[in-house]
Amino acid sequence: MHRPPAVAGLFYPAHPTELRQLLEKYLQAAATEAKPPKALIVPHAGYAYSGPAAASAYARLKPAHATITRVLLIGPSHRVGFQGLAVSAADAFVTPLGAIEIDKAAIDKLCGLPFVVYLEAAHSHEHSLEVQLPFLQVLLDDFKLVPVVAGEATPAQVEQVLDCLWGGPETLIVISSDLSHYHDYLTAKTRDQATSTLIEQLQYEQLSAAAACGKVPVSGLLKWAKAQSLSIKTVDLRNSGDTAGDHSRVVGYGAYVIE
C-alpha cells in the first residue's frame, strides 16, 4: 500500500523536473555548515511562501547526505481530530520524485507505546508531512521514513517517541510547524520573534497553539532537548509577507536546528 501525494500541484509543483529545480534553487541560496544538524524544525506551507525558510535548515544536511538513513518526521494534524500520535500502515509515501520506503521496524517499535495508533485518515490528506518529503528526497541518498501525525498529545508523549528512535547520526528528526497565523506583518514579526525566543530557551511549557500550529511536536522536541542538555538555534525567521508580498494577513515561518 502506497500513500499517494495529496498536495502536489497545490503546495509544490507536481512535475518532477520543475519540483527538483525549484528545490535546488532554494537550497543553493541557503547557507550550509560542516556540522549537520541532528534535528530540525521547519515550516510546512506552500513552497512559494515557506520554501526558502525551510531550505535554510535543510541545506545544512548536505554534509550528511550519505550518513542519514532514517528520518523520523512528526507534524500536526490539520484535518482529523484524535488522541495521541498516528502512524500509517503504508509501505511507502509517494511524491512526484518517487516512493520513500517506510521503516516498518521503527513503526512496530512505536506501536509499543499505548498512545501511538494506526490511523490512515490522519495521513491521507495531511500536508504538514508531505511538503517535507521532496526536500529530503533531493538532499539524502537513501533513507527510510517514519511518518507520525500528532493529534492531542502531551510533550511527554512526543518525548517518548523521540526517545525510542533518537538513535545516532543515521537518524534525522524533522518537526513540521508554522508559527503565527493571519496577523498583519509587523504584529507577526513581533509575535514570531517572541516564539523564537521561547524555542531557543527550550520553554516548551509556554508555547501556545496560536504561536506555533505544530505546538505538540515542537514542545516534545524542546522537552527532550532540555532533558538532554541540548541547545537549539534559529537559522531563519520570516513570514509570507517576505516571500509572497501581501503584508496584511501573513503566516510566520521559522527554521531551527539542534546540532
Dmax (CA) for the chain in angstroms is: 47
Residues of the chain with pLDDT under 50: none
Distances (CA, A) of 163 to 58, 214, 218: 22, 19, 14
Verdict on whether the full-model pTM lies above 0.95? yes
Nearest to 209 by CA among 148, 150, 123: 150
Partnered with residue 75 across adjacent β-strands are 149
Res 150: pLDDT: 98
Residue extents of the structural domains in the chain: 2-258
Place of cell 516564539: 195
CATH of 2-258, one of 3.40.830.10, 3.20.20.70, 3.40.50.2030, 3.40.50.10540: 3.40.830.10
Place of cell 550519505: 66
Res 34: pLDDT: 77
Query: Is the Cβ–Cβ distance between 114 and 257 less than 8 Å?
Result: no
Q: Can you read off the three cell numbers belonging to residue 205?
A: 511549557
Rounded to whole angstroms, the Cα distance separating 216 from 32 reads 28
Nearest to 34 by CA among 59, 71, 55, 52: 59
pLDDT, tens only, 220-250? 999 999 999 999 999 999 999 999 879 999 9
Burial readout 151-179 (b: 16 or more C-beta within 10 A, e: otherwise): bebebebbbbbbebbeeeeebbbbbbbbb
Helix (H) / strand (E) containing 134:
helix 133-139
Res 245: pLDDT: 78
Q: Can you read off the three cell numbers belonging to residue 196?
A: 523564537
Question: Strand, coil or helix: what is 6?
Answer: coil
Res 72: pLDDT: 98
Res 116: pLDDT: 98
Query: Is the Cβ–Cβ distance between 172 and 38 less than 8 Å?
Result: yes
Distances (CA, A) of 113 to 102, 151, 161, 218, 250: 18, 15, 8, 19, 38
Query: Is the Cβ–Cβ distance between 213 and 177 less than 8 Å?
Result: yes
Question: Strand, coil or helix: what is 87?
Answer: strand
Res 80: pLDDT: 96
Query: Is the Cβ–Cβ distance between 253 and 49 less than 8 Å?
Result: yes
